[in-house]
Chains A and B, each alone.
Chain A
Amino acid sequence: MRFDSALGLESRKGPMAVAGKVLIYGFMVVVFTGPLVGLLVSAFSKTLDPTSFSLWPDEFTLENFVQAKEKNVYLYLLNSFIVVGFGLLLQMLVSVFAAYSLARKKFRGMTFVLLLMLTTMMLPEEIIAIPLSLVLSDMPLLHVNLIGTYAGMILPVGAWGFSILVMTEFMKEVPVELEEAARIDGAGELRIFATIIVPLCRPALGVIGVFGFTMIWDQYLLPLIVAPESSMWTLPIALRSLRSDEEVGIGVLLAASLLALLPSIIAFLAFQRQFMRGLTSGAIKG
């Protein structure tokens, strides 16, 4: 008798054991993907009333997606992509730069900086939502108003403690000999950073990329605060306004919800390995 797991289920043979396993796995897949499959099916079906949401296709139609254009859904989607595109670029740049300093340099005040990073992770954005709106409407020292601008949605997601710490852990692994050799050859700081350290951290870029994407795509309170005009709305916060439509009932809402879900699902499926690595490397989603 061998045990490779706590319950020792996988070593059991026989028709009963197989049937039990199939039942458990089937149940899990149905429960956890059911609502998502239902959405996929219903978004392409005729749905007039909320009770027609189901797992069984009605009759295939693209009507919901046509109506969605009338309701500006594609404008919201574009806004979401603008914010996530620039936001992620900024976030990754900031993380890589900060990590280089924390991982490869020794300087006074480093512990303090690390402590600051941890503090920001302990400080959920919900807590500072109200004062953040005050700060954004009149930036201290700069006196610009970021409410109603893309910058107001992009800049606040630029620095993310999780992303910086994951990157720092990775950069510590790069052997110091490479750096020293380059230094003796007279390479400057920027050159070492750009041609040695960053290329060696490519796997970590995937990790912070996929986490950063889902984090920015999922932002809700921030666009809610920053975008009072519907022309600036991102897709997640626009969903509420699409709940009922005289033409297709809940159809537009379903089509828009599907469009809001797909990017993060695709990102997850494409970068699954990086995702799991980030999840289980002791790094914590804050």
Chain B
Amino acid sequence: MTSTLTPAPGRTATPHRRTKRVRWRGPLMAWLFLAPALLLFLYFKFIPMFVGLWKSFFKVQTFLGDEWLGLENYKTIISDADFAAAIWHSILLALGTTIGSLVLGLGFALLIEGPARYLWFVRTAAFLPVVTTMAAVAEVWRIMFHPADSGMLNTIIGWVGVDPQPWLASEHSSLWSIMLMSIWRGTPYDMMIFLAGLVGVDRTLYEAAAVDGASTWHRLRHITLPALRPVFWILFTLAAIRGLRVFVEVYVLTNGGPNGSSEVLMTLIYKLGFQKNDLGVASAGGIVLFLATLALTLIAQMLRRRQAR
């Protein structure tokens, strides 16, 4: 950190009065102002990252000292059926939530686009789920998902003649129920970003299309959607990164149950690390999660490039 006290190019207003003192003060000041941020990042981001990588090669034992295992922990993860299921659930949940939120977000954005004054109320109300505390929202949904016939969601679907569902209580529907809540929370965010994107679409194109007598579908297909493409990819990449590391929703709603049917990577890592004290495998799981996130981001970028061609 301190080896960077190189003379800065003269930035003072009066070149002939540049003294030695002023010359090195620039960079030193710069690093001083950065120091708190760098120190906190070092301690709470970078050191943990390296500790995690390091521990992932060991059998971590508190009093006996760590035992070198090489890639054993990673082999455990790859060959373990629980991990395979958790990775699959994470991917399914991430994809379902991402696509659901994108499609609904775009649909709602198109419906409430426009300069109307009274729309601010609709937008504000619709955006509330995004800013709410996940743990509390998840508790509310857990209550709404109550599987009894008189549970809130079962009452609502009863009005339109659908039979009561077990929601979180069944192995077949637990993951889909979590997805439903995540889509509810993700849609307004995507909607807002799409709305911001729609503002930038060239109005004269719409006029021209109207003159040519193009249908609404054609207008969407050839003017609106192409203009939104960059926004779409940003949202997709973001959601993919966020979706894989899902934890709080699952932890609160089902804690991976029933019978492991909604166990995701992060809940499994948490159980391994803090309940079974298997820190080595848990650290390796964290690294795998990181690599998966990185891979997804790169894939999204590649798809984006191919689209652009």
Contacts and interface: CB of A to CB of B under 8 A. Distances in A.
Interface of A: 1-10, 24-25, 28-29, 31-33, 35-36, 38-39, 50-51, 53-54, 93-95, 97-98, 100-102, 105-110, 113, 116-117, 120, 122-124, 126-135, 139-140, 155-156, 158-159, 164, 180, 183-184, 189, 193, 214, 217-218, 220-221, 225, 236-237, 239-240, 243, 250, 253-254, 256-258, 260-261, 264-265, 267-269, 272, 275-276, 279-280, 284-285
A14 B6 CA distance: 72
B116 A51 contact: no
Contacts of B111: 7, 9, 24
Contacts of B207: 2-3
Given A38-B152, A218-B134, A108 B4 contact: yes
Contact of A261 (B13, B29, B132, B189): B132
B304 interface: no
A51 B108 contact: no
Nearest to B245: A126
Contact of A94 (B40, B133, B146): B40
A159 B40 CA distance: 6
Contacts of A117: 41
A130 B223 contact: no
Nearest to B111: A24
A50 B168 CA distance: 14
Nearest to B29: A189
A217 B29 contact: no
Interface stretch (B95-103, B171-179, B283-291): B283-291
Contacts of B279: 130, 134
A6 B31 contact: no
B160 interface: no
A3 B210 contact: yes
B70 interface: no
Contacts of A254: 140, 143
Given A128-B49, A268-B131, A6 B266 contact: no
Contact of B55 (A28, A110, A129, A131): A131
B159 interface: no
Contact of B34 (A98, A134, A267): A98
Lowest 9 A-B CB distances belong to which pairs? A131-B52, A3-B206, A159-B40, A236-B135, A10-B114, A98-B37, A101-B33, A105-B30, A260-B136
A133 B273 contact: yes
Contact of B146 (A50, A130, A156, A183): A50
Contact of A130 (B11, B119, B283): B283
B59 interface: no
Interface string B96-128: 000000000000101111111001011011111
B23 interface: no
Nearest to A236: B135
Contact of A124 (B110, B148, B241, B274): B241
A58 to B, nearest CB: 14
A67 B8 CA distance: 64
Given A29-B122, A36-B132, 12 more contacts: A4-B203, A9-B113, A32-B127, A38-B144, A53-B152, A107-B26, A107-B31, A128-B286, A130-B274, A155-B40, A265-B128, A285-B238
